[in-house]
Amino acid sequence: MALKDDLKGYWQVAKNTQYLLSYLGLSNRFKRTQDFTYDTYTEFFSRDTKKLKRVKQRLARINNQFITTTTLALENEFIKAHAQAISSVLGTEATGAKLLEVGGGYGRTIFPLSCIFPQADFYALEYTAQGPEAAKKYLEEGLSEIQGVAGSFKAEAAQNHPRFIEFRQGDGKAIHYGDKEFDVSYTNLVLEQIPEPADHERIMAEMLRVTRKASCFLEPWHDAQDLITLGFLNHNDYFRAKSEVLYRIGFKKVTFIPLGFQHNLRFKLGYVIAEV
Upper half-sphere CA count for residue 136 (Cβ side, 13 Å):
9
DSSP string, 214-249: EEEEEE--GGG--HHHHHHHHHTT-----TTHHHHH
- Alpha-carbon distance of 39 to 191, in angstroms, equals 16
* Residue 173 touching ligand SAM (CB under 6 A): yes
Using CB under 6 A as the criterion, what x/- string covers residues 131-170 for binding ligand SAM? x---------------------------------------
- Alpha-carbon distance of 208 to 221, in angstroms, equals 18
Instruction: Choose, by CB under 6 A, the member of 19, 23, 41, 261 that binds ligand SAM.
Output: 41
Instruction: Choose, by CB under 6 A, the member of 97, 189, 207, 241 that binds ligand SAM.
Output: 189
| Contacts with 271 (C-beta within 8 Å, 6 or more apart), sequence order | 81, 85, 216, 217, 218, 256, 257, 258, 259
* Residue 236 touching ligand SAM (CB under 6 A): no
Instruction: Choose, by CB under 6 A, the member of 76, 152, 188, 225 that binds ligand SAM.
Output: 188
- Alpha-carbon distance of 209 to 222, in angstroms, equals 24
Query: How many residues sit close enough to ligand SAM to count as binding (CB under 6 A)?
Result: 20
Nearer to ligand SAM, 37 or 225 (CB): 37
Which region among 2-10, 53-61, 189-197, 221-229 touches ligand SAM (by CB under 6 A)?
189-197
CB atoms within 10 A of CB 9: 18
Q: How far apart are CB 106 and ligand SAM at their closest, in Å?
A: 7
In the complex, the residues that contact ligand SAM under the rule CB under 6 A are: 37, 41, 102-105, 108-109, 126-128, 131, 171-173, 188-190, 193-194
